[in-house]
Structure 1
């Protein structure tokens, strides 16, 4: 499974869809990002039912700023339009696969109820 290039133009459309979306925020000058790239690619091959996308933080500075990306690589995992995980640093492939497995097990109706309850408390 190849990864998809994610930009400000297709970000919302990509993460709002049904299913699992895993995004890698990276930059060409970032050594850890270069070491993480084959790990991310391998995870995409092992999880063909998920969408894997890469966001070049240099080419997409507005998107990166809006998402408060402060260190790279940063991995974000969405399911059905909900951000479930955000991890900075070089993750092993096993950790990515575990995040995806946990996301698949979630009852998204319950997750949405929890989010609504937390937002209600914050107001």
Structure 2
């Protein structure tokens, strides 16, 4: 599956659904972004069951700002609408593959329990 371009209008719907979504925040003037792009594209072809998306931070300044993207490239990994990873920096192909596998291996039932425990009021 090729990468999809996200905008403010399509971001929420794409990242809140079921499954794994990788989002690359980038800009055309960014050298590391241009170096990471073919790695990201190759991974998207290899993992057809995962959504690989890109956000052009120049065209989508409001979206990037709302997510506090301050350095690019930044990679965000979500699974079932939960952010599992969000870090700046271009990854080499093997590291991206490890990240994809880690996202696949996450016990989402445990993640949901942990999130629920954090949002429950403290016992009195």
> 1:63-78 counterparts in 2 under 5 A?
63-78=63-78
TM-score by length of 2: 0.93
TM-score by length of 1: 0.94
> 1:26-105 counterparts in 2 under 5 A?
26-105=26-105
2:23 aligns with 23
1:4 aligns with 2:7: no
Return 5+ residue gaps in structure 2 as ranges: none
Is the partner of 2:8 in helix, strand or coil?
Answer: coil
Deviation at 1:34, TM superposition (A): 0.6
Q: How many residues align?
A: 122
Is the partner of 1:28 in helix, strand or coil?
Answer: coil
2:103 and 2:90 map into 1 onto residues whose CA distance is 20
Which protein shows a greater Rg?
2
